[in-house]
Amino acid sequence: MISGLRPGRLPHPGTVLVWSVPLAICAVFAWMLGDILLHGLDHLSFSFLIEEPRKSGRAGGIGPILVATCLIVTICLTVSLPISLGAAVLLSEFLRHADRSGRAIRISLDMLAGIPSIVFGIVGNAVFCRFFGFGYSIMAGGLTLACMVLPVLIRTTEQAIGDVPEAYRLGAVALGFSKLRTIRRILIPIAAPSILVGALLAVGRSFAETAALLFTSGYVDRMPSSLGDPGRALSIHILDLAMNIPGGDAAAYGSALVLIGLLFFINGAIQCITLVWRRTAGLTAAI
């Protein structure tokens, strides 16, 4: 029975309001998903996933689009994960919350996390496309996405390392471990599941990003031969088909269905990792 409801009595208005908000969100999501499934399922096939687009995307498939998207996300993670891990260790183990420089860095990260993605796209175009000379390319798009997800990754990784019980640190000191060895051999392995969840969330955001890549990765829908070639991300392909290509609605729905499938897979992986982690943590606590 829903909390706040009693037999023979009307529900409290506050209870109705609290339950109506998530129900409305679920209803909107179900409507969107149903519309995409209704219009995109017939267009989905194996050939659609591997063929090159033809007739400006009205025919053919999204093979080069998927390759470019995966390359962009790979560059993003390759650059952002090591930086975020190092910055998170610095903040959680060396710059505590009482430290002024630590507070300044955390405030800066929180502000960067709230900046619209199109601003990252404009800055990425100025820095990576023009200043460093990458031009419109997969490399520029991946580096821009790395800058965009870094604030969230650093904060989630810092939280994961900071949540490791203090007893592990004290035990390492008692065994004569150095600070760096404690971080490398104890803290990071224990926090690894939470760090992985944060990385998967960054992957999900990268797959769905559009505005930042409009100014950096390019608009070309052919198969990229190197990281210096321009490449069209899947989200940009959907935008182009829906807004600029007459008769491209069917392919846009099919591409959107593929993107939602990827996001479902990523979120499912996050749920599985979290479940396994909780079970392992519970078993360890019981032992």
Each residue's pLDDT tens digit, 175-188: 888 888 888 888 88
What distance in Å separates the CA atoms of residue 232 and residue 73, rounded to the nearest whole number?
A: 12
- Is 98 a member of any domain? yes
Residue 135, classified by CB atoms within 10 Å of its CB into exposed (0-12), middle (13-18) or buried (19+), is middle
- In one-letter notation, the amino acid at residue 135 is G
- Is 28 a member of any domain? no
- Is 140 a member of any domain? yes
Q: Looking at the DSSP assignment, which residues form a beta bridge with residue 53?
A: 60
Count other C-beta atoms under 10 Å from residue 38's C-beta.
Answer: 10
What distance in Å separates the CA atoms of residue 128 and residue 139, rounded to the nearest whole number?
A: 8
What distance in Å separates the CA atoms of residue 19 and residue 113, rounded to the nearest whole number?
A: 29
CA-closest candidate to residue 162, choices 249, 55, 88: 88
- Is 119 a member of any domain? yes
- In one-letter notation, the amino acid at residue 77 is L
pLDDT tens track, the chain, 287 positions: 445 555 556 677 778 788 888 899 999 989 988 988 888 888 888 888 888 888 888 888 899 999 999 999 999 999 999 999 999 999 888 887 667 888 888 889 989 888 888 999 999 999 999 999 999 999 999 999 999 999 989 988 998 898 888 888 888 888 888 888 888 888 888 888 888 888 888 888 788 888 889 899 988 888 888 899 998 999 899 988 888 888 888 889 999 999 898 888 888 877 787 777 767 655 444 44
What distance in Å separates the CA atoms of residue 227 and residue 138, rounded to the nearest whole number?
A: 5
CATH of the domain at 76: 1.10.3720.10
Phi, psi of 72 (to 5 degrees): -60, -45
Phi, psi of 59 (to 5 degrees): -120, 175
Q: pLDDT value at position 97?
A: 64
- Is 22 a member of any domain? no
Return the structure tokens found at 178: 């150095």
- Is 24 a member of any domain? no
End-to-end CA, the chain: 36
What distance in Å separates the CA atoms of residue 20 and residue 32, rounded to the nearest whole number?
A: 18
Whether residue 96 contacts residue 105, with contact meaning beta carbons closer than 8 Å, is answered with no
- Is 210 a member of any domain? yes
Count of structural domains within the chain:
1
- Is 29 a member of any domain? no
What domain range is 140 assigned to? Answer: 46-279
Return the structure tokens found at 193: 């599941």
